[in-house]
Amino acid sequence: MNQEVGYSYLDQLNDTQREAVTCTQGPVMVIAGPGSGKTRVLTYRIAHLINIGIPPWQILALTFTNKAAREMKDRIERVVGSSAQKVWAGTFHSLFARILRYEAHHIGYPNDFTIYDTDDTKSVVKEIIKQMSLDSKVYNPNMIRSRISSAKSNLITPKKYVADEELMQLDRMNRIPMMHVIYDKYVKKCLRAGAMDFDDLLLQMYKLLFLNPENVKEKYQRQFQYILVDEFQDTNFLQYEILKQFLDHAESPQNICIVGDDAQSIYSFRGATIENILQFQHDFQDVKTFKLEQNYRSTQHIVDAANGVISYNQKQIKKTIWTDTLGEHKIKIIKTVTDTEEGKRVADLIIEQKNRHSLENTQIAILYRTNAQSRVFEEHLRRYNIPYRIYGGLSFYQRKEIKDLLAYMRLTVNPKDDEAFKRVINYPKRGFGNKSLDNLIQFAEDNEISIFESIPMIEMSSRAKTIIMNFMKLIANFRMKAESGNAYEVAMYIAKKSGIVDLLKNDGTLEGMGRLENINALLDGIQEFVEDDVLEPGEEILDKSLAKYLQNIALITDMDEEKSTDVVTLMSVHAAKGLEFKSVFVVGLEENLFPSYMSLSDPRQLDEERRLFYVAITRAEELLTLTYANSRYQYGQMRFNDPSRFLEEIPPENVDSIVPISSKPSFGEPRILGNFKPVKRKKSLPRIDVADFIPNDPRDIGKGMKVLHLKFGEGVVTNIDERQIATIYFDQVAENPEKRIMLQYAKLQIIE
């Protein structure tokens, strides 16, 4: 395709990228391998649309994090100027929430609806289970919430749920036959409370378009002439159906561009379906497909390893990723005896890499399959004084004091918000009894109204009535303030008048002081929101109301939070998607852990585990280290493990020999992994069958005895002091073979 004169940004693209950017008409699919410049293509495509005369407000760009949307708009602005800010760019949830703020009245919701988070939805489910006198162990609230979420993501309303005999039969088999009733009550409760959960932001958006084709659907079909979707492989069924609604009219040019990589589809547990990207070419006619196959991130060895691993998956869009960055470092695979030793070896290597390759902490990441694996790495990083950050820890907005103050704000904006009401009616304590509260909740339920609406109608003791009426006056006072004040003025007023600030000031403990600091940090953030003078797409005037602020906060994702500076990053592989580091450690590469034991009986799930491993190794730019342990404690027991099958799928020519290990594998004859064999040590650690292991009475253990330990193998008791602490020398342990063990808690079997 001829390059347009004057568009210098096109010179920064390779041939395939340029074609994907300048092919602006009709359906386009961009298959973007890891590190292939996906964000640049998406950004320049939008900039190019604006440059050829498309009004920016007619462009809808959907991402999976608000941070990605902000960065995209900043990059576009560097190319086309301030008009970039008028592009409708954001997450599915944030942009649809914005539309619903204008249109929700068409589907029976107030425009100032509350957005329920996970805790809110769980609380509603718990309350319904309690009201129905169901066993919460059978009707587990988390499980019920997850099933409701899944139903909504698949466009299954309560009516459709009841009509689906397969679903009803499944519920009967799982001993939860009342599931459909809970779902129905949950939906009605949310509607009465003027609240939407995160799934509703999608479901109600679909409902809005589907039920209002003339006055709403056509309006947005006319507005969004060009739709772009990032990370399309992560979309779920409902998100794809909404996109089709935008394009479902006879005169639609079907200008939709999707960007994604089927090999990085790893979120099926959230409802994402790989079928969307695999079926896209069948759903739209004359789709133009561009494959971005040049990797600008990683070295040849890492790219070749990724290609080798993913080739084992059956269902995929074929492509071959390549790079012209050779790189000198092959992939290291390290075996350790225990997970504790694994933690130590990784910490040792981090220090070595920092010294040898002049790496900063922030250039290093430790990736694991499950968050529970972080503990041993944390312990050893602490011992070595290596600063680190656990990615995905407790979010600032999930802390109790923050949620308490936000609940007051939510109730101010929407008095029908039952979850906010229940959270703050007795915080700070005002003496409103649990029995009175239960009666109030039940009355609201029986009359199908919100708790706040039921207060003037229910009879209660004069004391309870006085307390509750004073509370209503307090909220009414906050609402009056909200009518004239901006978000910061109202929030500061609520923080003081609610009594939260005084309560934390009077606490006096370090914890109380820390909570007060968090409240101040929240208020500072609200002040920053008020002082921000940038208009959002679709806004004609700056909206600095409390309602607008609460909407922004409700849509913040983990990926949007501020990060610490020079720290080693510890995170799950799922959380690492989209990131890159000079050096990456992928740890715990054992069968039943990575791949997960839950995937081994289902080929589709095993394929997703392999895609997850593919994502993990392609986060690395230069150094990639893969580790596994022969044994680790799981669920309180020592378990022995085989190395992950994924290690054998890496081409041998891309793998270095194992760097110093402790012993031969404990699972019998060593496997050949890549082009190396494990190095022999003094003795192999015995494979101890837990069922055959019978510990002796600690009182029978004496100096000089030969004993067997589940974790360390055979050892000799060299000393027992007066505190009954035994010193035992385990000659099969390479590092620190001498262990001090308290006999009272020891599990030792006498051999001789």
**Hey, which residues are catalytic here?**
38-39, 230-231, 264, 619
DSSP sequence for 502-525 = HHHHTT-SHHHHHHHHHHHHHHHH
DSSP state of 384: T
Q: Are 398 and 604 in contact (CB under 8 A)?
A: no
- Determine the longest span between alpha carbons in the chain, in angstroms: 90
CA 387, chain centre distance (Å) = 23
The DSSP code for 483 is H
Q: How far is CA 458 from CA 127, 221, 454, 455, 468, in A?
A: 20, 47, 6, 6, 11
H-type helices in 398-545, by residue range? Answer: 400-413, 418-424, 434-447, 451-454, 462-484, 487-497, 500-505, 510-531
Sign of the alpha-carbon dihedral angle for 197, 203, 208, 209: positive
Query: If you write DSSP's letter for every residue of 112-155 in order, what string do you get?
Result: T-EEE-HHHHHHHHHHHHHHTT--TTTS-HHHHHHHHHHHHHTT
Angle between helices 462-484 and 400-413 (to 10 degrees): 80
Q: Which of 220, 535, 575, 74 lies closest to 369 in space, CA to CA? A: 575
CA–CA separation, 241 and 271 (whole Å): 14
Q: How far is CA 548 from the centre of its chain?
A: 24
Bridge partners of 623, per DSSP, are: 583
d(CA 623, CA 583): 5
Region label for 377, one of left (φ > 0), alpha (ψ between -120 and 50) or beta (otherwise):
alpha
Q: How far is CA 389 from the centre of its chain?
A: 16
Going by C-alpha positions, the residue among 426, 454, 422, 430 that lies closest to residue 440 is 454
Q: Are 139 and 575 in contact (CB under 8 A)?
A: no
- Cα separations (Å) of 663 from 220, 334, 629, 693? 65, 11, 11, 22
For residue 577, the cross-strand partners are none
Angular region, 286: left φ>0, alpha ψ -120 to 50, beta rest: left
* 8-22 residues labelled b (16+ CB within 10 A) or e (exposed): ebbeebbebbbbbbb
Distances in Å between the Cα of 331 and the Cα atoms of 94, 363, 433, 620, 622 are 40, 17, 63, 10, 9
Tokens 């080929």, located at residue: 603
Q: 3-class SS at 714?
A: strand
State the Cα angle at 661 between 745 and 381, rounded to 5°: 65
- Class of residue 334 by CB neighbours under 10 A (exposed 0-12, middle 13-18, buried 19+): buried
CB burial string 144-162: b at 16+ within 10 A, e below: bbebbbebbbebbebeebe
Contacts by 285-289, CB closer than 8 A, 24 or more apart: 285/27, 286/26, 286/27, 287/26, 287/27, 287/28, 287/29, 288/23, 288/26, 288/27, 288/28, 288/29, 289/28, 289/29, 289/30, 289/31
